[in-house]
Amino acid sequence: MAITDLRALNAEQSLTFLAGIPYVYHCHHYNLFHDQTIDDALGEEEGARVRTVAAHNAFRELLTAIFDKAEATTPAERINLASEVFAWMGQGKLMLDVTAAGGRARSASLHYGYAWREKYGSRVKRSEPCDAVAAGFASAATELAFGLAWDGITAKEHKCLATRDAECELTLETATSQLASPPIDEATVRRYVVPPIRGVDEDRIAAITAGLLEFMRGVQGDERGLVAAFNVFVTAHLPSYYNETVYETVHRIERTQAGSVPAIEALMREAGQVCVFNTFGNVLLSPEWEGLVGAPTGVPSDVMSFCTAIARGLGFGHWLVGSYEPRKRLVLRATSNYEVPFYRSRYGLAKKPRSYFVQGAALAMMLLAETVKWTERPQLTNEYYIELFRGKPRYHVEQTQCMMRGDAISEYVVDAL
Amino acid sequence: MDRYIEQAVEEIPQLIGIFVTAMPDSLLFSSWVRPGTEWAAEDVAAYFGDLIRSNRQGLKALGAWSSEMQVTIESAESLVVLRELSTDFVCGCVFERSAPLGMVRLHLKRLLERLTHALPKVQPEDRPRGTRIMEFLDRYAPDPHAVALRVSLRAGISLDELKTPATLTMDQIRRLEETACKILGVNQLSL
Amino acid sequence: MHCDPGTSGPVPLRLALTREITCIRSLAWRCDLPAGCDLEALAAALEASELTRQPAVRGLQRFASAAGDEILVVMASRRVQFRVHYTIPEHERRFAAERLFQRVVYALLRP
């Protein structure tokens, strides 16, 4: 069974699934910033542990579903298929040399290590490996290949491209098993979406989304298991990974270091800005977009519609423009997103709005629509990012409704200051 | 000072820019760039100042430092020459890559003499370490847009306190410095 | 020649290679073809020069070299993007882009 046959789309909610497990697309800028924030909050050692555990849990869910659907039963079949899936997702080509007692894994092209070296390698010297996602994947794949219990194997990376090693290398060992969490699958997701509603410019957004989804169907890892598209490294990634890392970290900071809550929430929002600026921006300036939709016009309401379509095309959920007054106010809504099902089923109702990612994304959409001179071929560099988002704030975002809190819909209001 | 620079550049057609950096804080003191050149003078001056400081420390470690030392960088598009004018000022000159080296040296000698005479005698202010650490992070942190948030989270110093780094306590400065080293991947800060 | 700006005599072909958005440093480059270029003929010439046509979204033509570099042509705007493979070291990317650019120029100048 081809991996591509395992994909499914909930078109009306713009949610994508692989073997019934949700997946989304995120670029290396977002992925690296996200992981960096976890480490900033928890420190390198604990950050790596939380990220590895989250990746393990997320890939355990995915691989269980894939092995079941593909009827892969032997260890060899399962290890092969798992590696193939990991590479298809753009996470890298990982060679697993494992038994039921553990073993080792290595790669010259893991998404995180490779992209970190590309983005930061010439500016910062890193001393800790950065491929917790690969470590979590490797342990989950090994456990499932050999029929071991949840958390029966731990994996740790000890050589990494980001720390200037020639290859990434991981060691896998047996561990004490823990209880499994229930999976966040398609059925769970269905419980936490509400019927889609139409927003401003809905027909055009829906048409562009369809074209983008079609394009994304062709996106998959190359011979190194990486995806270079839209001038960024792209991954098909598991929302459970992002969600577990974000919310476990934020909850812990709330319990132990209350004074730092504003900082971590701001950084989580910043991750949304990083995503929109880099991924959405590069999509808008790509030849693919120009072929599909046309060159960006620079009209703010166009940019707003285009960004909404891109969010849907990447599997972020049914985002819609509630209303938009250029230079004044944006009301962005969502009837589904990839955070709500995880939060509600893992933690119950939230006490306050918690869609940090979309909050940051909404703010960035406003800035992209209002400030970037799209017709002048802007260069989406780090310097330009700083120019746009630093300095005197021009807009303020507030999440006024949140499905994690039990509201009927999620709503994000961006106002000019 | 600007008047001296403008007079000096009239004689050197292949000069693209001059940056005078005040040390030890690597702050722009004065500059000139050829019209049509879009460089951020503050940034360039800061990097040049830091480069000279690192160079000085490296040479001292080798026991080979002298106040006459000069750094020459030949890149694909330009020739950069850095020189300490005094203990308080560094001058960086950027020439077109095609400029003959002999001519560059000749012009440079005259130019530096004129600038040295025009420089004021300064009593460097001992600026608070917290301020200098935050400025250093601003220049070198990989994500400068997020650096205050990152420092706040890692060091447990509130965002409000970080807005006035000059007033941080000794313990906060220690944590700030440790965090800066971690973010930059270095063992110590060259301030 | 596949480029005819619509004048009677031979007109020099002026193309400039410039760097595109640089999220991954120096990976994407572009040139803009003048009006009158026969894009179908260009595509055929690129295929004849050992580039392989790749699936692409509508309105776009995409060709890949054996090394994984790509040339993309937007049919409506005549924008050409050169994508150097990410494994090429940064300092060599410009030269790799120039080689791809040359292919387009040769393809346009083919009799």
Q: Which residues of B touch A126 (CB under 8 A)?
A: 185
pLDDT at C6 over 60: no
Interface check for C66 against chain A (CB to CB < 8 A): the answer is no
Percent of chain A having pLDDT more than 90?
A: 84
Q: What's the gap in Å between the CA of A279 and the closest CA on chain C?
A: 10
Whole-number Å distance between alpha carbons of B65 and C63: 55
Percent of chain A, pLDDT > 70? Answer: 99
Q: Which residue of A has its CA nearest to B179?
A: A40
Q: Quick one: pLDDT at residue A318?
A: 97
Q: What's the rounded mean pLDDT across residues A346-371?
A: 96
Task: Please tell me which residue, C30 or B43, carries the higher pLDDT value.
Answer: C30
Mean pLDDT score, A48-57: 96
Residue B149 pLDDT level (bands cut at 50, 70, 90): very high
Rounded to the nearest angstrom, the minimum Cα separation between A332 and chain B is: 25
Q: How close does chain B come to A377, measured CA to CA in Å?
A: 17
Evaluate if residue A412 carries a pLDDT over 90: yes
DSSP string over A272-305: HHHHIIIIIHHHHTSHHHHHHT-S----HHHHHH
**pLDDT digit string, tens, across residues A103-131:** 999 999 999 999 999 999 988 999 999 99
Q: Tell me the per-residue pLDDT of C46-57, one tens digit each, with 9 for 90 and over.
A: 999 889 998 888
Per-residue pLDDT at B166 exceeds 60: yes
With an 8 Å Cβ cutoff, are C20 and A292 in contact? no
Confidence of residue B182 (pLDDT cuts 50, 70, 90): very high
Q: What is the mean pLDDT of residues A235-259?
A: 96
H or E element in which residue A309 lies = helix A300-313
Dump pLDDT digits (tens) for A181-222. Answer: 778 889 999 999 999 999 999 999 999 999 999 888 888 999
Q: Report chain B residues whose CB lies below 8 A from the CB of A125.
A: 185-186
The residue among A364, A338, A369, A372 whose CA lies nearest residue A273 is A364
Q: What are the chain B neighbours of A263 within 8 Å (beta carbons)?
A: 149, 152-153, 159
Cross-chain residue pair C57–A214, CB shorter than 8 Å: yes
What is the model's pLDDT at position A166? Answer: 95
Confidence of residue C3 (pLDDT cuts 50, 70, 90): low
Question: Predicted ipTM?
Answer: 0.90
Q: Which of A409, A399, A40, A62 is closest to A245 using CA atoms?
A: A40
Each residue of A2-25: pLDDT tens digit? 899 999 999 999 999 999 999 999
Q: In the predicted model, what is the mean pLDDT of residues A90-103?
A: 97
* Chains with ≥3 CB–CB distances under 8 Å to B: A
pLDDT digits (tens, 9 = 90+) for B14-69: 888 888 888 877 888 888 888 878 788 888 888 888 888 888 778 877 777 776 77
Do residues A159 and A165 make contact, with C-beta atoms less than 8 angstroms apart?
yes
- C36-to-C8, C13, C41 alpha-carbon distances in Å: 13, 11, 12
Q: Of A6-15, B76-85, B127-136, B170-179, where does mean pLDDT reach its minimum?
A: B76-85
pLDDT by residue (tens digit) across A212-236? 998 888 889 999 999 988 888 999 9
CB contact under 8 A, B149 and A124: no
Q: Is the pLDDT of residue C1 over 50?
A: no
Q: Dihedral, CA atoms, A327, A331, A334, A338, nearest 10 degrees?
A: 50
Looking at chain C from residue 69 to 98, which residues have their Cβ under 8 Å from any Cβ of chain A? 72-77, 79, 81, 83, 85-87
Can the peptide bond before residue B24 be classed as cis, meaning omega within 30 degrees of 0? yes
DSSP string, C2-71: -B--S-SS--------EE---SSTT-EEEEEPPTTB-HHHHHHHHHHTT-EEE---TTEEEEE-TTS-EE
Write out pLDDT tens, residues A359-377: 999 999 999 999 999 988 8
- Angstroms from A290 CA to nearest CA on chain C: 7
Name which of A218, A222, A290 is nearest C74 (Cβ-Cβ): A290
Nearest to A172 by CA among A155, A158, A159, A157: A155
- Is the Cβ–Cβ distance between B182 and A126 less than 8 Å? no
The mean pLDDT of chain A is 94
Is residue C17 a contact partner of residue C74, using CB atoms and an 8 Å limit? no
Q: What is the DSSP string of A120-143?
A: HTTT----S---HHHHHHHHHHHH
Closest approach of C39 to chain A, Cα-based (Å): 14
Q: Tell the burial category of B121 from Cβ atoms under 10 Å away from its Cβ (0-12, 13-18, 19+).
A: exposed
Q: How many CB pairs under 8 A join A and B?
A: 51
CA–CA gap between residue A157 and residue A210 (Å, rounded): 39
Nearest Cβ partner of A294 from C28, C55, C76?
C76
B142, B143, B185 member nearest A127 (Cβ): B185
Name every chain A residue with its beta carbon within 8 A of the beta carbon of B150: 36-37, 40, 267
Encode pLDDT of A274-307 as tens digits.
999 999 999 999 999 998 899 888 899 999 999 9
Contact with chain A for residue C58, Cβ under 8 A? yes
Q: How many beta-carbon contacts under 8 Å exist across A and C?
A: 75
Q: What is the DSSP-derived secondary structure letter of residue A249?
A: H
